[in-house]
Structure 1
Amino acid sequence: MVNMWWCRPLVLLSPILSMFTAAGLWVVYFIALHHGKVLPLTSAYRKGNLSAYPPFISFTGNFPPASCYFSEILNLAAFAAFVVGILRYFQLKTKLDKRWLNIFSVVCFSIACFGMTIVGNFQLLEMSVIHNLGTFLAFILGNLYCWLQTYITWKVNLNNQGKVVAIGRLVLSAAISLCIILKHVLAVIPHMHTVRCQWAVVMLFLIYISTFAIDFRHCRFEVVCRDTVERQSQCEDANGSREQQLEL
Protein backbone atom coordinates (compact mmCIF):
# COMPACT_ATOMS: atom_id res chain seq x y z
CA MET A 1 0.00 0.00 0.00
CA VAL A 2 1.36 3.41 -1.00
CA ASN A 3 0.19 6.57 0.74
CA MET A 4 0.80 9.80 -1.13
CA TRP A 5 0.30 13.22 0.40
CA TRP A 6 -0.21 16.09 -2.00
CA CYS A 7 1.66 18.94 -0.31
CA ARG A 8 0.08 21.82 -2.19
CA PRO A 9 -0.48 23.81 1.04
CA LEU A 10 3.32 24.06 1.36
CA VAL A 11 3.08 26.88 -1.16
CA LEU A 12 1.81 29.01 1.73
CA LEU A 13 4.62 28.01 4.08
CA SER A 14 6.97 30.89 3.23
CA PRO A 15 4.44 33.77 3.56
CA ILE A 16 2.98 32.25 6.75
CA LEU A 17 6.53 31.92 8.14
CA SER A 18 7.26 35.57 7.34
CA MET A 19 4.00 36.92 8.78
CA PHE A 20 4.13 34.97 12.04
CA THR A 21 7.85 35.65 12.60
CA ALA A 22 7.41 39.37 12.01
CA ALA A 23 4.37 39.48 14.29
CA GLY A 24 6.21 37.48 16.97
CA LEU A 25 9.24 39.79 16.96
CA TRP A 26 7.04 42.85 17.31
CA VAL A 27 5.17 41.19 20.19
CA VAL A 28 8.52 40.57 21.90
CA TYR A 29 9.44 44.23 21.36
CA PHE A 30 6.19 45.48 22.92
CA ILE A 31 6.57 43.11 25.88
CA ALA A 32 10.09 44.41 26.55
CA LEU A 33 8.87 47.97 26.08
CA HIS A 34 5.98 47.40 28.49
CA HIS A 35 8.36 46.13 31.17
CA GLY A 36 10.68 49.11 30.65
CA LYS A 37 13.62 47.03 29.41
CA VAL A 38 14.09 48.91 26.11
CA LEU A 39 13.46 52.38 24.76
CA PRO A 40 10.79 53.07 22.12
CA LEU A 41 11.97 52.96 18.50
CA THR A 42 10.64 56.48 18.08
CA SER A 43 12.78 57.91 20.88
CA ALA A 44 16.25 59.41 20.71
CA TYR A 45 19.28 57.26 21.48
CA ARG A 46 20.41 57.83 25.09
CA LYS A 47 23.80 56.27 25.71
CA GLY A 48 23.86 57.02 29.43
CA ASN A 49 20.47 55.49 30.16
CA LEU A 50 21.08 52.46 32.38
CA SER A 51 17.44 51.65 33.10
CA ALA A 52 16.50 50.88 29.49
CA TYR A 53 18.47 49.62 26.51
CA PRO A 54 18.17 50.71 22.87
CA PRO A 55 15.55 48.47 21.20
CA PHE A 56 17.92 46.24 19.24
CA ILE A 57 16.18 42.95 18.53
CA SER A 58 18.68 41.13 20.74
CA PHE A 59 17.96 43.46 23.68
CA THR A 60 14.19 43.04 23.33
CA GLY A 61 14.65 39.28 23.67
CA ASN A 62 17.24 39.38 26.42
CA PHE A 63 15.05 39.70 29.53
CA PRO A 64 12.20 37.51 30.76
CA PRO A 65 9.36 37.16 30.04
CA ALA A 66 10.13 38.44 26.51
CA SER A 67 13.19 36.16 26.25
CA CYS A 68 10.97 33.05 26.54
CA TYR A 69 8.84 34.10 23.58
CA PHE A 70 11.92 35.27 21.68
CA SER A 71 13.64 31.89 21.91
CA GLU A 72 10.53 29.97 20.88
CA ILE A 73 9.79 32.28 17.94
CA LEU A 74 13.32 32.10 16.54
CA ASN A 75 13.56 28.33 16.99
CA LEU A 76 10.29 27.75 15.11
CA ALA A 77 11.20 30.34 12.48
CA ALA A 78 14.62 28.74 11.92
CA PHE A 79 13.06 25.30 11.47
CA ALA A 80 10.37 26.55 9.07
CA ALA A 81 12.95 28.56 7.12
CA PHE A 82 15.15 25.47 6.86
CA VAL A 83 12.20 23.54 5.39
CA VAL A 84 11.64 26.34 2.86
CA GLY A 85 15.32 26.18 1.90
CA ILE A 86 15.16 22.40 1.41
CA LEU A 87 12.01 22.67 -0.74
CA ARG A 88 13.71 25.33 -2.83
CA TYR A 89 16.75 23.08 -3.24
CA PHE A 90 14.66 20.17 -4.53
CA GLN A 91 12.72 22.47 -6.82
CA LEU A 92 15.96 23.62 -8.48
CA LYS A 93 17.75 20.27 -8.36
CA THR A 94 16.95 19.31 -11.97
CA LYS A 95 16.57 22.83 -13.35
CA LEU A 96 19.94 24.40 -12.61
CA ASP A 97 22.96 23.49 -14.72
CA LYS A 98 25.43 24.48 -12.01
CA ARG A 99 24.47 21.98 -9.34
CA TRP A 100 27.23 23.16 -7.02
CA LEU A 101 25.54 26.56 -6.87
CA ASN A 102 22.31 25.01 -5.66
CA ILE A 103 24.19 22.96 -3.04
CA PHE A 104 26.26 25.95 -1.90
CA SER A 105 23.09 28.02 -1.64
CA VAL A 106 21.23 25.57 0.59
CA VAL A 107 24.32 25.05 2.78
CA CYS A 108 24.62 28.82 3.33
CA PHE A 109 20.95 29.06 4.23
CA SER A 110 21.12 26.07 6.56
CA ILE A 111 24.00 27.66 8.47
CA ALA A 112 22.08 30.95 8.58
CA CYS A 113 19.10 29.11 10.11
CA PHE A 114 21.43 27.57 12.67
CA GLY A 115 22.65 31.08 13.43
CA MET A 116 19.04 32.09 14.14
CA THR A 117 18.77 29.38 16.81
CA ILE A 118 21.99 30.65 18.40
CA VAL A 119 20.59 34.19 18.53
CA GLY A 120 17.38 32.93 20.10
CA ASN A 121 18.93 30.69 22.74
CA PHE A 122 22.06 32.61 23.81
CA GLN A 123 21.15 36.03 25.21
CA LEU A 124 23.36 38.96 24.26
CA LEU A 125 24.20 40.22 27.76
CA GLU A 126 24.94 36.74 29.14
CA MET A 127 26.92 35.18 26.24
CA SER A 128 27.76 38.02 23.88
CA VAL A 129 30.45 36.21 21.84
CA ILE A 130 28.26 33.24 20.94
CA HIS A 131 25.25 35.49 20.38
CA ASN A 132 27.19 37.79 18.03
CA LEU A 133 28.46 34.74 16.14
CA GLY A 134 24.87 33.66 15.57
CA THR A 135 23.98 37.18 14.43
CA PHE A 136 26.86 37.15 11.95
CA LEU A 137 25.81 33.78 10.53
CA ALA A 138 22.16 34.76 10.27
CA PHE A 139 22.71 38.19 8.68
CA ILE A 140 25.75 37.69 6.47
CA LEU A 141 25.01 34.18 5.18
CA GLY A 142 21.31 35.03 4.98
CA ASN A 143 22.10 38.02 2.78
CA LEU A 144 24.47 35.90 0.68
CA TYR A 145 21.64 33.41 0.20
CA CYS A 146 19.39 36.22 -1.03
CA TRP A 147 21.94 37.24 -3.66
CA LEU A 148 22.48 33.64 -4.76
CA GLN A 149 18.75 33.02 -5.10
CA THR A 150 18.35 36.24 -7.05
CA TYR A 151 20.90 35.04 -9.59
CA ILE A 152 19.39 31.54 -9.67
CA THR A 153 15.89 32.97 -10.15
CA TRP A 154 17.11 34.95 -13.17
CA LYS A 155 19.02 31.98 -14.57
CA VAL A 156 16.27 29.36 -14.23
CA ASN A 157 13.41 31.66 -15.25
CA LEU A 158 10.53 29.38 -14.21
CA ASN A 159 7.58 29.62 -16.61
CA ASN A 160 9.15 32.72 -18.14
CA GLN A 161 8.30 34.64 -14.95
CA GLY A 162 11.64 34.29 -13.21
CA LYS A 163 13.21 37.45 -14.59
CA VAL A 164 10.40 39.63 -13.26
CA VAL A 165 10.67 37.97 -9.86
CA ALA A 166 14.47 38.28 -9.98
CA ILE A 167 14.22 42.05 -10.36
CA GLY A 168 12.11 42.29 -7.21
CA ARG A 169 14.54 40.03 -5.35
CA LEU A 170 17.45 42.11 -6.62
CA VAL A 171 15.90 45.22 -5.07
CA LEU A 172 15.29 43.39 -1.76
CA SER A 173 18.83 41.93 -1.69
CA ALA A 174 20.35 45.35 -2.36
CA ALA A 175 18.17 46.93 0.34
CA ILE A 176 19.23 44.27 2.87
CA SER A 177 22.92 44.78 2.03
CA LEU A 178 22.54 48.57 2.27
CA CYS A 179 20.85 48.36 5.68
CA ILE A 180 23.57 46.02 6.99
CA ILE A 181 26.28 48.44 5.81
CA LEU A 182 24.46 51.45 7.26
CA LYS A 183 24.00 49.64 10.56
CA HIS A 184 27.74 49.11 10.94
CA VAL A 185 28.63 52.62 9.73
CA LEU A 186 26.16 54.29 12.10
CA ALA A 187 27.32 52.06 14.98
CA VAL A 188 30.47 54.20 15.19
CA ILE A 189 28.30 57.04 16.52
CA PRO A 190 25.45 55.52 18.61
CA HIS A 191 22.18 56.51 16.99
CA MET A 192 18.64 55.17 16.96
CA HIS A 193 18.90 54.82 13.16
CA THR A 194 21.32 51.94 13.81
CA VAL A 195 18.51 50.13 15.61
CA ARG A 196 16.03 50.92 12.86
CA CYS A 197 18.43 49.57 10.24
CA GLN A 198 18.59 46.26 12.10
CA TRP A 199 14.80 46.00 12.23
CA ALA A 200 14.66 46.90 8.53
CA VAL A 201 17.12 44.09 7.68
CA VAL A 202 14.99 41.49 9.45
CA MET A 203 11.69 42.70 7.95
CA LEU A 204 13.16 42.87 4.42
CA PHE A 205 14.62 39.40 4.80
CA LEU A 206 11.21 38.05 5.85
CA ILE A 207 9.63 39.72 2.81
CA TYR A 208 12.27 38.04 0.64
CA ILE A 209 11.48 34.61 2.10
CA SER A 210 7.77 35.13 1.44
CA THR A 211 8.45 35.59 -2.28
CA PHE A 212 9.28 31.88 -2.61
CA ALA A 213 5.54 31.26 -2.73
CA ILE A 214 5.70 32.63 -6.28
CA ASP A 215 8.11 29.84 -7.28
CA PHE A 216 6.46 27.07 -5.27
CA ARG A 217 3.14 27.48 -7.09
CA HIS A 218 4.88 26.11 -10.20
CA CYS A 219 5.86 22.91 -8.39
CA ARG A 220 4.01 20.08 -6.64
CA PHE A 221 5.75 18.45 -3.69
CA GLU A 222 4.91 14.84 -2.93
CA VAL A 223 5.71 12.90 0.23
CA VAL A 224 5.59 9.14 -0.44
CA CYS A 225 5.27 6.57 2.36
CA ARG A 226 5.94 3.02 1.19
CA ASP A 227 5.71 -0.16 3.29
CA THR A 228 9.02 -2.03 3.55
CA VAL A 229 7.39 -5.44 2.94
CA GLU A 230 5.70 -4.20 -0.19
CA ARG A 231 8.92 -2.70 -1.47
CA GLN A 232 10.76 -5.98 -0.92
CA SER A 233 8.01 -7.93 -2.71
CA GLN A 234 8.17 -5.51 -5.63
CA CYS A 235 11.92 -5.97 -5.82
CA GLU A 236 11.51 -9.76 -5.74
CA ASP A 237 8.90 -9.59 -8.50
CA ALA A 238 11.19 -7.41 -10.55
CA ASN A 239 14.12 -9.79 -10.02
CA GLY A 240 11.90 -12.78 -10.89
CA SER A 241 10.77 -11.20 -14.12
CA ARG A 242 14.39 -10.48 -15.04
CA GLU A 243 15.35 -14.12 -14.38
CA GLN A 244 12.48 -15.33 -16.59
CA GLN A 245 13.61 -13.05 -19.37
CA LEU A 246 17.15 -14.41 -19.07
CA GLU A 247 15.89 -18.02 -19.22
CA LEU A 248 13.90 -17.27 -22.33
Structure 2
Amino acid sequence: MWGYLSMLPAFLALWAIAGVWTVFAVAVTNRSVNLTEGFPYISLCGSYPPQSCIFSQLLNTGAVMASWICIIRYHQLRDWGVGKWLNQLIMWTGLLCALGTSVVGNFQQKNQLPTHLVGAFFALFAGNFYFWLQLYLCWRMKSLPQPGAPWIGPLRLGLCSLCTILMVAMVILHSWPMRSASAACEWAIAMLLFTLFGLFAVDFSCLDGCTLCLQPGPSLSPPPASPISLQITL
Protein backbone atom coordinates (compact mmCIF):
# COMPACT_ATOMS: atom_id res chain seq x y z
CA MET A 1 0.00 0.00 0.00
CA TRP A 2 2.71 2.48 0.96
CA GLY A 3 4.52 1.80 -2.29
CA TYR A 4 1.45 3.00 -4.19
CA LEU A 5 1.06 6.05 -1.95
CA SER A 6 4.65 7.03 -2.62
CA MET A 7 3.75 7.35 -6.31
CA LEU A 8 0.70 9.55 -5.64
CA PRO A 9 2.63 12.86 -6.00
CA ALA A 10 4.08 11.85 -9.35
CA PHE A 11 0.67 10.70 -10.56
CA LEU A 12 -0.87 14.02 -9.47
CA ALA A 13 1.75 15.99 -11.40
CA LEU A 14 1.23 13.96 -14.56
CA TRP A 15 -2.57 14.02 -14.19
CA ALA A 16 -2.69 17.79 -13.74
CA ILE A 17 -0.19 18.71 -16.45
CA ALA A 18 -1.76 16.40 -19.03
CA GLY A 19 -5.25 17.47 -17.99
CA VAL A 20 -4.87 21.25 -18.27
CA TRP A 21 -3.17 20.98 -21.65
CA THR A 22 -5.98 18.69 -22.81
CA VAL A 23 -8.47 21.38 -21.76
CA PHE A 24 -6.40 23.92 -23.70
CA ALA A 25 -6.36 21.72 -26.81
CA VAL A 26 -10.14 21.18 -26.71
CA ALA A 27 -10.76 24.91 -26.20
CA VAL A 28 -8.59 25.79 -29.19
CA THR A 29 -10.13 23.06 -31.34
CA ASN A 30 -13.73 24.12 -30.75
CA ARG A 31 -12.76 27.82 -30.96
CA SER A 32 -13.82 28.66 -27.42
CA VAL A 33 -10.58 30.63 -27.32
CA ASN A 34 -8.96 32.45 -30.23
CA LEU A 35 -5.17 32.39 -30.18
CA THR A 36 -5.01 35.23 -32.70
CA GLU A 37 -6.48 37.51 -30.03
CA GLY A 38 -3.89 36.53 -27.45
CA PHE A 39 -2.77 33.66 -25.26
CA PRO A 40 -5.62 32.63 -22.91
CA TYR A 41 -5.65 32.14 -19.17
CA ILE A 42 -6.14 28.59 -17.93
CA SER A 43 -9.52 29.55 -16.47
CA LEU A 44 -10.72 30.98 -19.78
CA CYS A 45 -9.97 27.69 -21.50
CA GLY A 46 -12.07 25.86 -18.89
CA SER A 47 -15.02 28.25 -18.90
CA TYR A 48 -17.05 26.83 -21.79
CA PRO A 49 -18.52 23.37 -22.42
CA PRO A 50 -17.58 20.69 -23.13
CA GLN A 51 -14.09 21.38 -21.74
CA SER A 52 -15.56 23.02 -18.62
CA CYS A 53 -16.79 19.56 -17.57
CA ILE A 54 -13.32 18.09 -18.05
CA PHE A 55 -11.84 21.09 -16.21
CA SER A 56 -14.08 20.62 -13.17
CA GLN A 57 -13.47 16.88 -12.93
CA LEU A 58 -9.74 17.38 -13.42
CA LEU A 59 -9.37 19.97 -10.66
CA ASN A 60 -11.71 18.20 -8.22
CA THR A 61 -9.76 14.97 -8.57
CA GLY A 62 -6.47 16.86 -8.33
CA ALA A 63 -7.68 18.65 -5.18
CA VAL A 64 -8.48 15.32 -3.51
CA MET A 65 -5.04 13.93 -4.38
CA ALA A 66 -3.33 17.12 -3.20
CA SER A 67 -5.23 16.91 0.11
CA TRP A 68 -4.06 13.34 0.61
CA ILE A 69 -0.48 14.38 -0.10
CA CYS A 70 -0.67 17.23 2.45
CA ILE A 71 -2.11 14.91 5.11
CA ILE A 72 0.47 12.17 4.48
CA ARG A 73 3.23 14.78 4.59
CA TYR A 74 1.85 16.06 7.90
CA HIS A 75 2.08 12.60 9.46
CA GLN A 76 5.53 12.04 7.99
CA LEU A 77 6.83 15.30 9.44
CA ARG A 78 5.19 14.52 12.78
CA ASP A 79 6.98 11.17 12.92
CA TRP A 80 10.23 13.00 12.12
CA GLY A 81 9.73 15.18 15.20
CA VAL A 82 8.39 18.42 13.70
CA GLY A 83 6.51 20.60 16.21
CA LYS A 84 2.72 20.47 16.14
CA TRP A 85 1.97 24.17 15.50
CA LEU A 86 4.35 24.54 12.56
CA ASN A 87 3.34 21.19 11.11
CA GLN A 88 -0.34 22.09 11.32
CA LEU A 89 0.30 25.50 9.75
CA ILE A 90 2.01 23.78 6.83
CA MET A 91 -0.77 21.21 6.43
CA TRP A 92 -3.61 23.75 6.54
CA THR A 93 -1.83 25.96 4.01
CA GLY A 94 -1.63 22.98 1.65
CA LEU A 95 -5.29 22.13 2.25
CA LEU A 96 -6.24 25.74 1.43
CA CYS A 97 -4.40 25.32 -1.86
CA ALA A 98 -6.38 22.13 -2.56
CA LEU A 99 -9.66 23.83 -1.62
CA GLY A 100 -8.88 26.78 -3.88
CA THR A 101 -8.16 24.39 -6.75
CA SER A 102 -11.57 22.77 -6.33
CA VAL A 103 -13.27 26.19 -6.18
CA VAL A 104 -11.55 27.22 -9.43
CA GLY A 105 -12.87 24.10 -11.13
CA ASN A 106 -16.44 24.41 -9.86
CA PHE A 107 -16.94 28.18 -10.13
CA GLN A 108 -15.94 28.96 -13.70
CA GLN A 109 -14.67 32.40 -14.60
CA LYS A 110 -17.64 33.33 -16.78
CA ASN A 111 -20.23 32.10 -14.24
CA GLN A 112 -18.97 33.34 -10.86
CA LEU A 113 -15.90 35.54 -11.26
CA PRO A 114 -15.45 36.80 -7.63
CA THR A 115 -15.59 33.28 -6.17
CA HIS A 116 -13.36 32.02 -8.96
CA LEU A 117 -10.72 34.66 -8.19
CA VAL A 118 -10.75 33.80 -4.47
CA GLY A 119 -10.19 30.15 -5.37
CA ALA A 120 -7.38 31.09 -7.76
CA PHE A 121 -5.70 33.12 -5.01
CA PHE A 122 -5.71 30.15 -2.63
CA ALA A 123 -4.65 27.70 -5.35
CA LEU A 124 -1.67 29.75 -6.56
CA PHE A 125 -0.53 31.95 -3.69
CA ALA A 126 -1.30 29.57 -0.82
CA GLY A 127 0.22 26.77 -2.89
CA ASN A 128 3.46 28.70 -3.33
CA PHE A 129 3.50 29.61 0.37
CA TYR A 130 3.04 25.92 1.24
CA PHE A 131 6.25 24.98 -0.52
CA TRP A 132 8.13 27.94 0.96
CA LEU A 133 7.09 26.65 4.40
CA GLN A 134 8.46 23.22 3.48
CA LEU A 135 11.78 24.82 2.53
CA TYR A 136 11.82 26.89 5.72
CA LEU A 137 11.27 23.74 7.76
CA CYS A 138 14.19 21.95 6.08
CA TRP A 139 16.40 25.00 6.68
CA ARG A 140 15.34 25.36 10.32
CA MET A 141 15.62 21.66 11.22
CA LYS A 142 18.90 20.46 9.80
CA SER A 143 18.38 17.03 11.39
CA LEU A 144 15.37 16.18 9.20
CA PRO A 145 15.91 13.29 6.77
CA GLN A 146 16.63 14.47 3.24
CA PRO A 147 15.62 11.64 0.87
CA GLY A 148 16.82 11.73 -2.69
CA ALA A 149 19.83 13.25 -4.42
CA PRO A 150 21.59 16.32 -2.96
CA TRP A 151 20.30 18.51 -5.80
CA ILE A 152 16.64 18.01 -4.84
CA GLY A 153 16.80 20.77 -2.21
CA PRO A 154 18.36 23.41 -4.52
CA LEU A 155 15.90 22.40 -7.26
CA ARG A 156 12.96 23.04 -4.93
CA LEU A 157 14.45 26.38 -3.91
CA GLY A 158 14.85 27.37 -7.56
CA LEU A 159 11.30 26.31 -8.47
CA CYS A 160 9.78 28.18 -5.50
CA SER A 161 11.81 31.30 -6.29
CA LEU A 162 10.83 31.23 -9.95
CA CYS A 163 7.20 30.65 -8.99
CA THR A 164 7.23 33.72 -6.72
CA ILE A 165 8.85 35.91 -9.39
CA LEU A 166 6.28 34.79 -11.96
CA MET A 167 3.41 35.54 -9.57
CA VAL A 168 4.60 39.11 -9.13
CA ALA A 169 5.06 39.42 -12.89
CA MET A 170 1.60 37.97 -13.54
CA VAL A 171 -0.11 40.54 -11.31
CA ILE A 172 1.86 43.46 -12.77
CA LEU A 173 1.36 42.39 -16.38
CA HIS A 174 -2.36 41.86 -15.82
CA SER A 175 -2.75 45.38 -14.41
CA TRP A 176 -0.94 47.15 -17.29
CA PRO A 177 -2.70 45.33 -19.13
CA MET A 178 -0.58 42.78 -20.98
CA ARG A 179 -2.97 39.88 -20.69
CA SER A 180 -1.19 37.39 -22.97
CA ALA A 181 2.08 37.74 -21.07
CA SER A 182 0.21 37.53 -17.77
CA ALA A 183 -1.57 34.37 -18.93
CA ALA A 184 1.76 32.81 -19.95
CA CYS A 185 3.03 33.51 -16.42
CA GLU A 186 -0.07 31.81 -14.99
CA TRP A 187 0.53 28.68 -17.07
CA ALA A 188 4.19 28.59 -15.98
CA ILE A 189 3.19 28.96 -12.31
CA ALA A 190 0.74 26.08 -12.60
CA MET A 191 3.40 23.84 -14.18
CA LEU A 192 5.86 24.74 -11.40
CA LEU A 193 3.37 23.97 -8.63
CA PHE A 194 2.45 20.65 -10.24
CA THR A 195 6.17 19.80 -10.42
CA LEU A 196 6.71 20.73 -6.77
CA PHE A 197 3.87 18.44 -5.73
CA GLY A 198 5.37 15.71 -7.90
CA LEU A 199 8.72 16.03 -6.11
CA PHE A 200 7.07 14.74 -2.93
CA ALA A 201 7.48 11.32 -4.54
CA VAL A 202 11.12 11.58 -3.45
CA ASP A 203 10.15 12.17 0.19
CA PHE A 204 7.47 9.48 0.14
CA SER A 205 9.87 6.91 -1.29
CA CYS A 206 10.99 6.11 2.26
CA LEU A 207 7.44 5.54 3.59
CA ASP A 208 7.08 2.12 5.19
CA GLY A 209 4.34 2.68 7.77
CA CYS A 210 2.58 5.17 9.95
CA THR A 211 2.16 5.90 13.65
CA LEU A 212 -1.30 5.94 15.18
CA CYS A 213 -1.66 7.86 18.45
CA LEU A 214 -4.63 6.50 20.40
CA GLN A 215 -6.07 8.96 22.92
CA PRO A 216 -7.91 7.42 25.93
CA GLY A 217 -11.68 7.84 25.79
CA PRO A 218 -14.00 8.71 28.70
CA SER A 219 -14.22 5.91 31.24
CA LEU A 220 -14.51 5.32 34.97
CA SER A 221 -11.01 3.92 35.21
CA PRO A 222 -7.99 6.25 35.50
CA PRO A 223 -6.54 7.13 32.09
CA PRO A 224 -3.02 6.00 31.17
CA ALA A 225 -0.18 8.43 31.77
CA SER A 226 0.28 9.10 28.07
CA PRO A 227 -1.34 8.25 24.72
CA ILE A 228 -0.63 4.82 23.28
CA SER A 229 1.38 4.75 20.06
CA LEU A 230 1.22 1.86 17.64
CA GLN A 231 3.57 1.47 14.71
CA ILE A 232 1.76 -0.11 11.78
CA THR A 233 3.64 -1.37 8.76
CA LEU A 234 1.70 -2.36 5.67
TM-score category, normalised to shorter length:
0.7 to 0.9
* Mean Cα deviation higher: 156-165 or 118-127: 156-165
Distance in 2 between residues matched to 1:44 and 1:126, nearest whole Å:
22
User: What SS is found at the alignment partner of 1:37?
Assistant: coil
How high is the sequence identity, in percent, across the aligned residues? 30
* Mean Cα deviation higher: 179-188 or 215-224: 215-224
User: What SS is found at the alignment partner of 1:93?
Assistant: helix
Contact 1:7 1:222 in 2 (8 A): no
* Pair 205,160 (structure 1): closer, same or farther in 2 beyond 3 Å: closer
- Compute the displacement of 1:153 (Å): 3.1
Distance in 1 between residues matched to 2:117 and 2:101, nearest whole Å:
11
Gaps of 5+ in 1: 1-5, 46-53, 225-248
- Compute the displacement of 1:190 (Å): 2.2
Within 5 Å, which residues of 2 pair with 1:207-246? 207-221=195-209
Within 5 Å, which residues of 2 pair with 1:168-247? 168-187=155-174, 188-221=176-209
Question: Which letter does structure 2 place at the counterpart of 1:119?
Answer: V
Question: Which letter does structure 2 place at the counterpart of 1:138?
Answer: A
* Pair 160,217 (structure 1): closer, same or farther in 2 beyond 3 Å: closer
Q: Which residue of the partner structure matches residue 17 of structure 2?
A: 22
- Compute the displacement of 1:206 (Å): 0.5
- Compute the displacement of 1:189 (Å): 2.1
RMSD: 2.0
Aligned length: 209
Question: Which letter does structure 1 place at the counterpart of 2:193?
Answer: F
Bigger radius of gyration: 1
Pair 1:75-2:60 in alignment: yes
- Compute the displacement of 1:152 (Å): 2.0
- Compute the displacement of 1:191 (Å): 3.7
Contact 2:100 2:121 in 1 (8 A): yes
Distance in 2 between residues matched to 1:162 and 1:151, nearest whole Å:
19
Pair 1:158-2:145 in alignment: yes
Distance in 2 between residues matched to 1:182 and 1:214, nearest whole Å:
30
Gaps of 5+ in 2: 213-234
Question: Which letter does structure 2 place at the counterpart of 1:218?
Answer: C
Within 5 Å, which residues of 2 pair with 1:84-163? 84-154=69-139, 155=141, 156-159=143-146
Pair 1:64-2:52 in alignment: no
Distance in 1 between residues matched to 2:26 and 2:79, nearest whole Å:
46
* Pair 81,218 (structure 1): closer, same or farther in 2 beyond 3 Å: same
* Pair 161,9 (structure 1): closer, same or farther in 2 beyond 3 Å: closer
Please report the TM-score for the alignment, with normalisation by the length of structure 2. Answer: 0.83
- Compute the displacement of 1:182 (Å): 0.5
Distance in 2 between residues matched to 1:196 and 1:142, nearest whole Å:
18
* Pair 105,159 (structure 1): closer, same or farther in 2 beyond 3 Å: closer
* Pair 31,161 (structure 1): closer, same or farther in 2 beyond 3 Å: closer
* Pair 72,166 (structure 1): closer, same or farther in 2 beyond 3 Å: same
